[in-house]
Chains A and B, each alone.
Chain A
Amino acid sequence: MKSDVVIVGGGVNGCALAYRLAKKGLKVILVERRFLTSGATGACGAGIRQQWSTKENTKLAIDSVKHFEKFSRELGMDIDFRQGGYLIINHDEKEVEQSKKNIKMQRSLGLDVRFIDRDEINDIVPILDVEGMHAIGATFCPTDGHANPFKTTFALAKAARRYGANIMTHTTLTDIVVENHRVKKVKTTNGSIETDAVVNAAGAWSKKIAEMVGIDIPNTPFRKEIMVTERLKLMFEAMVISFKDGIYFSQQKEGHILGGLPIPEEREGYNFMPTFMFLTHMAKTLTRYVPSLKYINMVRHWTGFYDVTPDARPILGESEEVKGFIHCHGFSGHGFMLSPKVSEVLAEYIADDKKDEILDSLSLKRFKTGKFTREKSVVG
């Protein structure tokens, strides 16, 4: 087999990039070890947020939302995108100070976001117990929202196939052949593929893929747990999130309340099993935020992985050591919401030789030079 580009990983980022490259007329093969959305995409909380502390993430997210708004029409499949906003709860003066700094930066980039007082919180999400949450204010961006990660990924894969991309599921990458510091070939359980470019979009397994070409990336896998309740009448539209308590939850279109929070005992590594500790912790925090939920049934609980980098921001762009090896990982829990813009930037780099400046600030090199800013607006 021969291909212009081989993408490793059938999550939302791999499929989005396959779609964009195939649309530009490139020959694309995507290899996925299991099935599409089997990694972090299929376990994610479905949120789409533009409120960040660093410019790069805010920019990527604002542009991604513009794509999400068009995706259902563009891809010919409904991805259930809806904009109910994100309500970020603030609990103390220090958080408020940081929020005001963030808002100033976010507004300078054109984002509609504002600080809201404690009394206004219930106007946005009526079921919240402001007292129980110990809230003193919040920030709110009405154009933040949700989409269905399965439908988005399937829609992207379907559109990619329409443009001729070959998406091979149940196919494991076993080796990458490099000659003269250039990618030459990849080997898979379903045959070898000659190629000039390999994109590492393997999420929590990116470290292992990078090792195949002798590159060490500073990513660590972290288990994250999420639960979902039975269906309820629609009561609120915004995602509620607190960086201090680590909790986030929202009501899905179908009526389920879906949310997660990190357990304090969590350690890095490939731990797949859900924990009872999470359930206790989650139930306690969630019912403190919304006491009436104590009568509601929790129906399902699962785990997924964050692929975490030292500054909680993705690593993007071509490697300097191995030409043709392209980084697209380290999303640190935010891969779904950033994927529309990230795939556009990388597709332009690969197909049109156009280098967006964001690729400089989010290159792997930043960890060597030490020139990076940590993203503060993260859960866990």
Chain B
Amino acid sequence: MKTVIVCRCEDITEKEIVDAIHAGYTDFEELRKNLRIGMGPCQGRVCIPLVKKILQRETGRKVEENPTVRPPVVPIPLGMLTKGWENEE
């Protein structure tokens, strides 16, 4: 469990997730904010379903909630954003 990486963006192992759940972070959002899972470039596409399974397994509770999705979903260079909408000015 120590060597299984669940969140590849933030380098979080399965053991770290299990430890945090046992330390009382059983709310998906609190778990996420404590470990930064889902906050890297992939924005949780890789790890969220896995974390959900682990949370379900460890708490015995059916986890139905999903963490908040933040825009822009895929990373965008700041230089591109400075151009704004195509029809602006």
Contacts and interface: CB of A to CB of B under 8 A. Distances in A.
B75 A299 contact: yes
B49 interface: no
B60 interface: no
Contacts of A231: 40
Given A35-B27, A42-B33, A169-B27, A300 B76 contact: no
B58 interface: no
A37 B29 CA distance: 9
A301 B71 contact: yes
Contact of B33 (A37, A254, A282): A37
A244 to B, nearest CB: 19
Given A274-B71, A297-B75, A300-B43, 11 more contacts: A37-B33, A170-B27, A276-B85, A279-B81, A280-B82, A283-B79, A287-B82, A297-B76, A300-B39, A300-B71, A301-B72
A294 B30 contact: no
A300 B34 contact: no
Most buried by B among A230, A287, A298: A298
B81 to A, nearest CB: 4
Interface in A232-266: 254
A254 B79 CA distance: 22
Interface string A132-174: 0000000000000000001100100010000000000110000
Interface in A297-322: 297-302
Interface of B: 24-25, 27, 29-30, 33-34, 36, 39-41, 43, 68, 70-72, 75-79, 81-85, 88
A150 B30 CA distance: 8
A300 B68 CA distance: 11
A231 B77 CA distance: 13
Nearest to A281: B84
Contacts of A124: none
Interface of A: 34-38, 42, 150-151, 154, 158, 169-170, 229-231, 254, 274, 276, 279-280, 282-284, 286-287, 293-302
A254 B11 CA distance: 12
At the interface, is chain B mostly helix, strand, loop or mixed?
loop
B41 A283 contact: no
Nearest to A291: B79
A295 B70 contact: no
Contacts of B39: 300
Contact of B77 (A36, A169, A254, A295): A295
A36 B36 CA distance: 15
27 contacts: A36-B30, A37-B30, A42-B33, A151-B34, A169-B27, A229-B78, A231-B40, A279-B72, A280-B81, A280-B83, A280-B84, A282-B81, A287-B78, A287-B82, A294-B78, A294-B79, A295-B77, A295-B79, A296-B78, A297-B77, A297-B78, A298-B75, A298-B77, A299-B40, A300-B70, A301-B70, A302-B68
A229 B81 CA distance: 13
Contacts of B71: 274, 300-301
Nearest to A284: B82
Contacts of B83: 280
A294 B77 contact: yes
A287 B84 CA distance: 13
A43 B70 CA distance: 12
A282 B80 CA distance: 12
B71 to A, nearest CB: 5
Nearest to B24: A158
A203 B29 CA distance: 19
Contacts of A154: 25, 30, 34
B75 to A, nearest CB: 4
A357 to B, nearest CB: 36
A321 B32 CA distance: 41
Given A274-B71, A299-B40, A283 B78 contact: yes
A296 B82 CA distance: 12
B77 A274 contact: no
A294 B70 contact: no
Contact of B81 (A37, A283, A299): A283
B70 to A, nearest CB: 5
Contact of A297 (B24, B25, B41, B70): B41
